[in-house]
Structure 1
């Protein structure tokens, strides 16, 4: 994720960079396994969990879980920290807040609707 807030909703709609950044996050969340993994990490105290803590409820191999966590990390939804032989994942709340703001902005109605034929 870029350091700037690419998920912000501007007054005139998303530009190509913002749409690309948002779609990366939304694609990562669109997979049910990744959404469940993110919720497992978020459910742990402090929003941090070792991969060994979150892999239990899944009927998936360790490499498959690692792949899904990598996608979440590349989308900026989680960060990781290696401690000895274990990798700990932490939810990136800033990206989730940006995504929430984007969705709120898209849901906001701007002014009165008008027909396309209206010259204004």
Structure 2
């Protein structure tokens, strides 16, 4: 009788875990889309700042401090895009891992649901 109760509890817990994993996969997919959108937006900003740096270089009245600030912003945006790109890769890897766990969970649920005592 205790084995049947344990099996029932295990089946419920696997179902809950599977649902949670589905939510995590959905969230990871949404985050990946948002990261891709942010990466596109930042690439456009990077081009605009690059244009600004080029234009600023040709303006004689610009101060050296202002020039340095714009160049630093340009460098910071390049670094930020690199971080976002790396983060997107980590999100893809996390999504793959969650999908694998979800598949294992579904396989376990199938095994448990077919188990009779």
TM range (shorter): 0.3 to 0.5
TM-score between the two structures when normalised by the length of structure 2 = 0.33
Identify, as 1 or 2, the structure richer in helix: 2
Structure 1 or 2, whichever has the larger Rg, is 2
Q: Which structure would you say has the larger RCO, counting Cα contacts within 8 Å and 6 or more residues apart?
A: 2
